[in-house]
A and B are shown apart, each in its own frame.
Chain A
Amino acid sequence: MGGFLTRYGAALAGLALFCGFALASPVFFTAGNLAVVFKETAFLGILAIGFTLALTTAEIDLSVAEVASLAAVVTGALVHGGQAPWIAICAGLAVGTACGAANGLAVTVLRVPSLIATLGTAAIAKGLGFMLTQGVAFVGRWPTSFTGLARGNTAGLPNLVWWLAGVGLAAWVLVKWTRLGAHLVATGEADEAARLAGIRTLAMKRLALTLAGACAGLTAVLLASSLSSAAPGMANDHFLYAIAAVLLGMCMFEPGRPNIPGTLFAALTLKVLGNGLVLLGAEYYWQDIVLGAIILASVALSAAGMGRAPFVKKLNFRTGR
């Protein structure tokens, strides 16, 4: 029973939250509102999956949101300037991936701890975003071949939900069912043992950070496509949410470990919470306060599992006692 609660307790709490909002607000459980929640979850989920992959190798990527903002304005600038959508999309993905690769090189070649390296990348990405736009947003009537990427439905579900499902499934298969994924996990779990067993641990860290950047790039493209606009700093609201999703996700399914199902379910839970609070008339700032409480509680409550996680020791997430 104790094991069951550690594994599924947080997920059940999320489910209870969902039911609670459905009962308390007549609007919550309508198709329109749920579609909004799921679309918001898609942006957060894809960004957080990247964060999860980095954390799987015991590296933390604090740059995902700023990198996504930069990739979004690059994409937006190109679409706005009349470039073919596929060029803009590729550019957005490339910017994200390149930033991720830069993080990987900073961590594995320059040997800068990821906590610091990605903070540096975040600042650079932020500056570049403002340089490119001079602080102005690109807004316009963009071609539907671009906006259709994130808007509209396919087979009865919002396109964004399909994107999230695709990325989530791919990441889950990668981590759980491939040799590469096993090597990512081993790198995060036991760096030295993995290296002695012939796993190229530095390459694994580079790969994970690069994938985190690629996820940020995809989030950016989908954001720009969905909103038909791009502005510097547009993805920044997702930063704390992404961290909270990963940490709360570590309280679910595989306690103490970054895991894809946990991240996805936690992302949904957080967006349900934000949406429900608004529907029940709570002021917007409550979202931030609740988010902060969840970040603290996630790490504190899953202490048993998380305290022994290698990255926690490495980053000094938890203070010694």
Chain B
Amino acid sequence: MALLALRGIGMRYGAVQALAGLDLDIAGGEVLALCGDNGAGKSSLVKILAGAQAPSEGSLALDGRETRFRGPQDALRQGVATIYQDLAVAPRLSIWQNVFLGSELTRPPFGLLDKRRMAEASRGFLARLAVGIADMDTPVERLSGGQRQAVAICRALRWEARIIIMDEPTAALGVKETAQVLDLIRRLHAEGRTVILVSHAMGDVVAVAQRVVVLKGGRKVADRPTGAMRAEDLAGLVLRAGTE
């Protein structure tokens, strides 16, 4: 049974049909890449999965049970975390403040913030991702791009998210940092988490994803295992799919 199943998902903005009749099964533990040109419907799909937007038609099922997300917080509670490219972190807040943003830990008897426990837990999450940062009080703006992605992922781990959606996680990064982020995705995969990777970077996709879904004009035009696929093959697929 699919962990997350989409059936007949459609999204209309006025006269624009951004998504139409999309069926997609996502298995537990897989890294699924979502590709397609601008305007293919990727960001509409991400918004629906993140709970930021309700689909105009169709249904979602988690673990075979039909569900809907009443907002980003609701999606998080149901185990689906979304990491947006630009909006993932609050730059001037510390690592632990970012990891526990909106879900801070408190301690009795007065219900005051338990900063030490949040810092320790953040350190633990980062260790799981093999990211070594000494001081959890460091503002996130002082971290490298890859480390920032790691902090954003830690927030997903804090929610024990089973499905982590990453929207263009490497778009603004250099070569070394991109490698670091790909490594983070491999570690999430090794932990048995499901990752949905939205990316334009074909090389990244074939490096970490097991399966790739290509969207075009709001429809699914290809859905296949990456296997021995090379970046050029995928690029060709994105360009040609649906045209023949």
Contact = CB atoms under 8 A, between A and B. Distances in A.
Interface stretch (A40-48, A96-104, A188-196, A259-267): A188-196
Contacts of A173: 112
B101 A178 contact: no
A4 interface: no
A161 B87 CA distance: 43
Interface in A177-200: 177-179, 182-183, 185-186, 189-190, 192-199
Given A182-B97, A186-B97, A189-B93, A194 B112 contact: no
B92 A194 contact: no
A308 interface: yes
A198 B88 contact: no
A185 B104 contact: no
Given A198-B73, A198-B103, A193 B113 contact: no
Interface residues of A, number: 23
B90 interface: yes
B72 interface: yes
Contacts of B76: 198
- Scoring B82, B84, B102 by chain A CB atoms within 10 A of each residue's CB, the highest score goes to B102
* Most chain B CB neighbours (cut-off 10 Å) among A185, A186, A308: A186
Interface string B60-73: 00000000000111
Interface of B: 52, 71-73, 76, 82, 84, 87-93, 97, 101-104, 106, 111-113, 141, 155
Given A177-B113, A189-B90, 19 more contacts: A173-B112, A179-B104, A179-B113, A182-B113, A183-B102, A185-B93, A186-B97, A190-B91, A190-B93, A192-B87, A193-B88, A193-B89, A196-B87, A197-B73, A197-B155, A198-B72, A199-B102, A308-B91, A309-B92
23 contacts: A173-B112, A176-B113, A178-B113, A182-B97, A183-B102, A186-B90, A186-B101, A189-B91, A189-B92, A189-B93, A192-B87, A193-B87, A193-B89, A193-B101, A196-B82, A196-B87, A197-B101, A198-B71, A198-B76, A256-B92, A257-B92, A308-B91, A309-B92
List of 5 A-B pairs having minimum Cβ-Cβ separation, nearest first: A198-B73, A190-B90, A197-B102, A197-B101, A177-B112
